[in-house]
């Protein structure tokens, strides 16, 4: 079984924040793949379903971002999962808005949710890093991530959420590179017509 985790903060006041894009990713995935209803469990909200032939559990920790690992660790122990069976969706300021990168293992890179994950489950889980852009100065980072997506962000946010949901079965198979490539393909801007450009 694969445990898919979305990082964020609970409550309507946080729902549209950049820091909550992990929650948004799981909610879209659950909708597209018709997972069961969300219910309270493991200090979070969970939904069960399948990605093709793979049984999956979605988990949105309700412990607030900085304690995300507590909820994930509880679910991991209950199902006797290894860190390699866990994939975490979260915001990444060091990626351009709308870019998605996948990697296994590594450090926290200043992300408190990932720091908590490492403390409770170890470092060897899959990270699905969703670019939200950098505000330009480190003093503005907290305000940037704890703020709603802008109207301009909507142009890329919904397509990225749809693309990750579409590609999720590849992630369940362990085909991280194919997942990343599929998301990039689905979200690439339409190519301009070279012939038309030449004529103009």
Residues noted as catalytic: 19
What element of type H or E holds 22?
helix 21-32
DSSP state, 178?
Answer: H
The structure tokens 């699905």 sit at: 128
Helix axes 154-172 and 21-32, enclosed angle (nearest 10): 60
Encoding tokens for residue 187?
């979200």
Q: Say which residues have a Cβ less than 8 Å from residue 173's Cβ, sequence separation at least 6.
A: 52, 54
Helix (H, G, I), strand (E, B) or coil at 192: coil
Helix, strand counts (H, E) of the chain: 7, 7
């Amino acid at each position: 079984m694969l445990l898919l985790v979305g990082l964020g903060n609970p409550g309507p006041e946080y729902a549209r924040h950049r820091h909550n894009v992990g929650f948004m990713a799981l909610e879209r995935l659950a909708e597209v793949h018709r997972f069961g209803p969300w219910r309270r469990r493991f200090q979070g909200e969970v939904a069960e379903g399948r990605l093709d032939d793979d049984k999956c559990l979605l988990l949105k920790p309700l412990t607030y971002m900085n304690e995300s690992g507590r909820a994930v660790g509880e679910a991991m122990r209950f199902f006797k999962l290894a860190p390699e069976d866990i994939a975490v969706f979260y915001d990444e300021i060091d990626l351009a808005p709308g870019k998605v990168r996948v990697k296994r293992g590594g450090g926290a890179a200043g992300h408190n949710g990932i720091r908590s994950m490492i403390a409770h489950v170890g470092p060897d889980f899959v990270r699905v890093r969703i670019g939200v852009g950098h505000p330009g100065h480190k003093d503005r980072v907290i305000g940037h991530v704890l703020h709603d997506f802008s109207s301009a962000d909507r142009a890329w946010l919904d397509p990225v959420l749809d693309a990750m949901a579409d590609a999720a079965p590849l992630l369940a198979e362990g085909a991280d590179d194919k997942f990343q490539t599929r998301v990039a393909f689905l979200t690439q801007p339409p190519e301009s017509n070279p012939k038309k450009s030449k004529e103009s």
